[in-house]
Structure 1
Amino acid sequence: MTLAGELRIELGAGRPPRIVSTRPDAAKVLLGKTAEQVLATVPLVFTLCGNAQSLAASLACRAALGLGGETKADADLRMAVVLESLREHCWRILLDWPALVGRPPDKAALAALVALDRQYKSALLDDAETLNAASGLPGNRFAVDRIRGELLALLDHAVFGENLTGWRQLASEADLLAWLVGQNCIAAAVIGALYRWDWLVLGRTEPAWLPELASGEWFEYLAARDLERFGREPDWQGVCCESTPLSRQRRHPLLAELLVRYGNGLLARFVAVLTEVAELVDYVAAGEPPPRMADAFGADAGGLARVEAARGLLMHRVEFAAGRVVDYRVIAPTEWNCRPGAVLAQGLQVLTAQDPENLHRQAAWWLQAIDPCVPYRLALDET
C-alpha cells in the first residue's frame, strides 16, 4: 500500500456497490511538530495536489497561532494551486479520457504539459525543486509570463482543438452542439460519444451540493463534531454532500441548463471539467487566483483552512499546545466524494448495463467523471 492508499470498488448488477478505502491517516505524522516542521513535512507526505496541501497547512497554522495576514509565500502558492489544478485536470484529459473513446493517450502533449509545469515552478522558485510554504517565492517573472503563454497555447490545441475561445462563449446546449461540429479534439470526442451512446443522464441521482462556507463557519461546525468520524465520513448537517468541479461550476449558464435537462449525470460532469479548465486558463493568463479559492480562521490555538483543490474542497484543521501540534486533520475531496453513500457510490448504483462488459465500461466512465484523489481498483462480481 502506498502512503496515499487506494479505493477498492466491488460492483455487481442488482446490488449496491461496495467501496473500501485503505487511505491511512497520514496527518498523524504531524503530531508533536512545530508549525515550521509542519510546513516542511506536509509537501513530503501529501504529494498529490501538494501545492494545495501546502497552502492549506500554512493558512491553518498561521490562523491557529494568530500570526496575522497572508504571507508572500501564501500569495504565490495561491497562483501555484491554480496551475496545479489545471495540470491535474489536463493530466486526466490527455492520459485517461482518450481510452474512454478508443484513442491512445496524447503522450506528446502530456510530456509538454509536465515540462511547462516544472519550468513554471522553477521560474517561481529560482530552480528549487518543490514549493516551500515557509519561504518567499522570488522567481523569474519574465520566464513565468513566457511559460504561461506556451501553456495556454498547448491546452488550446491539445484539449479544445484550437477553439478554446469558442468554448468560453458557450451558454446553452445549442451552443455546445454547434461547437462540436467539425471538432476532432479530445473534448469533442468525449462529449460527442455521450450523445451518440445516449449516456447523457447516466449516473444521475438527486444532487446534494456541499454548501459554499467560509473557514470560520467550518471551524464552528467542526467544534461540535466527532473529529475522528468526520475525518473519515464528513457531512454537512447530517447530509453526505459532494464537492466536485460540477458542484463548483453548476451556476455557469451552460451547466445550469444541462442540469435541468439531464441532471448530474455524465454529460454535466464532463462538461463541468472542461468548463473549469477554461476558467483556470483565464486565471493563469491573468496571473491572479480566484478570489474565494482559499481562506482560514483561527481561535484558541486552533486553526482551519479551506482550499479549493482540483477535485474538490480540501480542509486542514490544526490545534497547538505549547507551540506543538496536538491534533491535525486533513479532509480531502476523496472523503467527501468517495465515502460510503457518497456521489461515487450513488452513481455506480444506478448504472444501467446488465452484462459485465458494459457495466465495467459504464463504471470506467463514472470513475473518470468523479476522478478520485487516490488509485482505485474496480472488481466486478459476475455472479
Structure 2
Amino acid sequence: MKIQHAYEQAMFAGGKRTSLEEAHFSPNWEKLDLLQEKIKQLLKDRVYGVSPARWLDMESPAQLDAWMDRQQTVAACYLAKVRALGWEAVGSNETAALPVLDEARLHELMNENGFISAPTWDGRCRETSAFTRTDSALLQTLRTRHGNGLMPRLVARLTEVAQLMQWQPLAEAGTPGGGIEGTGVGQVQAARGLLTHGVMLDGEGRIERYRILAPTEWNFHPQGVVASSLAVLDGDREIVEKQARQLIHAIDPCIGYTLHVINPAPIYVTLSHHEYTRGEAPRRRQGHSLSRCGNDVHGGARGGRTD
C-alpha cells in the first residue's frame, strides 16, 4: 500500500487518481525513478533473489532449474514445487492468443450483449494475459516443451514483471480509427489482459450506454482457456482439485470463484453467475450475483475489479 500511495503521488498532481476533480496526470519522473529502484530492490529480496535484469539473462530451462535450486524465495520455491510434481505442462491446450482487434469491428461488437458476456474473435475463444503478451528466449523454449501449461504461465508472470522494471513497454492494444459516430472504444493492457471500455452517446452528447469488456470474460469464457485447461486434467479428486486451483490462479479471474470437483462427475468453476464445466455443455447458473467483469454499467457500485 505504501508503494501504491507513492506511485499515485508521483503520477498525479494532488496524489489522487480516482477523483475527477483532483486527478491531474502529471508524472514526476524523478520520483518515479526513485520508486522504481525501491521496487527493484523489493523484487530482488522477495521474488527473484537476484536483480530483475539478471533474472532476465536466463535463456534456457537448465538455467531456470539452477535458479530454482539456488534461491529460496517464494517464487523459486513455488516453481521448484511445480517441477517436482511434474506439473509443468498441466492444463496445456490449444486456445489461441487474442490478436490485435480491428477497431471498426470492435465498435460494432461492443453493442452486442452476447459479445460482452461471452466474447469470441473470428468464431474462436481467445486468451489475453501475461502469458500471451510476454516473450523471451526462455519462454519460447518452455512453450515448445510445455505448451501453455502451468510452468510457462508462471514464468511469463515473472518475466513480465522483470521486463517492466527495465521500462519495457507492453504490446500495444490496437490502433485507433474506424469508429462509428457517437461511439468510442478504448483499449489498454491491464494486469490480467486486454481491458476494453466502450461508450455510446445519445443525440445530445450524453452517455447512453457504457460497457466494459474485461480480460476475465475472454479467459473464463464457457469454452475458453480455463475450461479447456480443466478439460485435460486427469487423476484422483485431490490432485485434480490442486491442479485446477493452480491453473485458475495462474490465469487469474478478476473476482472470486468457487471450485467444485466431484469424481467421477465433471469439474465446475462458478465465477459470479457463470458456470464452467469439464465434461459436459456449460450452462448458466441462475440467482448469482451480477457483480462481475464485463457487464453494462448503468450506475451504482460494481463488485469485483475490472483489470
TM-score interval w.r.t. the shorter chain?
A: 0.7 to 0.9
CA distance in 2, matches of 1:369, 1:244: 10
Query: Is structure 2 residue 98 aligned with structure 1 residue 218?
Result: no
1:181 corresponds, among 69, 84, 87, to: 69
| Aligned-pair CA distance for 1:182 | 1.1
Helix, strand or coil at the partner of 1:336: helix
Q: How does 1:310-321 map to 2 (within 5 A)?
A: 310-321=191-202
Structure 1 stretch 263-272 or stretch 131-140: which is displaced more?
Answer: 131-140
Q: Does 1:262 align with 2:146?
A: yes
SS across alignment from 1:181? helix
State how far apart, in whole Å, the 1-side matches of 2:53 and 2:10 are. 28
Name the structure 1 match of 2:115: 230
Give the corresponding residue for 1:208: 96
- Aligned-CA RMSD value: 2.3
C-alpha separation in 2, matches of 1:201 and 1:218: 35
Task: State the match for 1:165 in structure 2.
Answer: 53
SS at match of 1:346: helix
Instruction: Tell me, yes or no, if structure 1 residue 121 matches structure 2 residue 2.
Output: no
| One-letter amino acid of the structure 2 residue matched with residue 164 of structure 1 | P
Query: Pick from 229, 242, 247: which aligns with 1:347?
Result: 229
| C-alpha contact (below 8 Å) 1:344/1:367 kept by paired residues | yes
Residue 132 of structure 2 is matched in structure 1 by: 247
Q: Distance in 2 between matches of 1:164 and 1:290?
A: 17
User: Which residue of structure 2 lines up, in the alignment, with residue 130 of structure 1?
Assistant: 17
Alpha-carbon distance between aligned partners in 1 of 2:100 and 2:47, rounded to the nearest angstrom: 29
TM-superposition CA deviations, 1:138-168 (whole Å, max 9, x none): 3654433322221221112111113423321
- Tell me if the contact between 1:161 and 1:185 (Cα under 8 Å) persists in the aligned partners: yes
Q: Secondary structure at the residue paired with 1:159? A: helix
Cα distance, 1:271–1:133 mapped onto 2, change above 3 Å: farther
Aligned with 1:236: secondary structure? Answer: coil
Q: Contact 1:120/1:144 (CA < 8 Å) preserved in 2? A: yes
Once the 2 structures are TM-superposed, how far is the Cα of residue 173 of structure 1 from its aligned partner?
A: 1.7
- Residues 296 and 303, structure 1, Cα contact 8 Å, conserved in 2: no
Contact map agreement 2:36 2:165 (CA 8 A) in 1:
no
Q: Does the CA-based 8 Å contact 1:306-1:316 persist in structure 2?
A: yes
Contact preservation (8 Å) 2:13, 2:24? no
Which residue is equivalent to 1:156? 44
Which range moves more in the overlay, 321-330 or 194-203? Answer: 321-330
260, 275, 279: which is aligned to 2:159?
275
Task: State the AA in 1 paired with 2:206.
Answer: R
For 2:109 and 2:240, how far apart are their aligned partners in 1?
41
2: CA distance, partners of 1:129 / 1:341: 40
Asked if the contact 1:294–1:305 (Cα under 8 Å) also holds between the matched residues in 2, the reply is: no
Distance 1:224 1:269, change over 3 A: closer
- The 1:290–1:371 alpha-carbon spacing in structure 2 relative to 1, beyond 3 Å, is closer
CA distance in 2, matches of 1:166, 1:146: 19
Which stretches in structure 1 are left out of the alignment for 5+ residues? 1-113
- 2:248 maps to 367
Name the count of aligned residue pairs. Answer: 261
Corresponding residue of 1:28? none
The amino acid that maps onto 2:44 is D
Whether 1:337 and 2:222 are equivalent positions in the alignment is no
Q: Equivalent pairs: percent with the same residue?
A: 33
Partners of 2:137 and 2:174 in 1: CA distance: 24
Task: Tell me how far 1:244 sits from its aligned partner.
Answer: 1.1
User: What is the one-letter code of the residue matched to 1:346?
Assistant: S
Secondary structure (helix, strand or coil) at the match of 1:203 reads coil
Q: For residues 196 and 163 of structure 1, do their structure 2 counterparts lie closer, same or farther at Cα, with a shift above 3 Å needed?
A: farther
What amino acid is the match of 2:91? Answer: G
d(CA) in 1 for partners of 2:71 and 2:86? 19
Q: Measured at CA, do residues 224 and 164 of structure 1 come closer, stay the same or move farther in structure 2, by a change above 3 Å?
A: closer
* Structure with greater helix share of residues: 1
Q: Indicate how the Cα distance of structure 1 residues 119 and 185 shifts in structure 2: closer, same or farther if over 3 A, else same.
A: same
Quick check: 1:159–1:186 contact (8 Å CA) kept in 2? yes
| Alignment partners' CA distance in 2, 1:133 and 1:151 | 28
**1:2-58 per-position Cα deviation (integer Å, ceiling 9, x unaligned):** xxxxxxxxxxxxxxxxxxxxxxxxxxxxxxxxxxxxxxxxxxxxxxxxxxxxxxxxx
Query: Secondary structure, in 3 states, of the residue corresponding to 2:103?
Result: helix
Amino acid at match of 1:257: T
1:292 equivalenced with 2:172 (yes/no): yes
Asked if 1 retains the 8 angstrom alpha-carbon contact of 2:183 and 2:200, the reply is: yes
Question: 1:116 corresponds to which letter in structure 2?
Answer: I
**Contact in 1 for aligned 2:52/2:165 (Cα 8 Å):** no
TM-score, scaled to structure 2: 0.77
Distance in structure 2 (CA, Å) of the matches to 1:152 and 1:339:
35
Return the structure number with greater relative CO, CA threshold 8 A, min gap 6. 1
More deviation, 154-163/294-303: 294-303
Structure 2 unaligned regions, length at least 5: 265-307
Q: How many angstroms apart in 2 are the aligned matches of 1:131 and 1:169?
A: 38
Find the aligned partners of 1:136 and 1:262 in 2 and give their Cα distance: 45
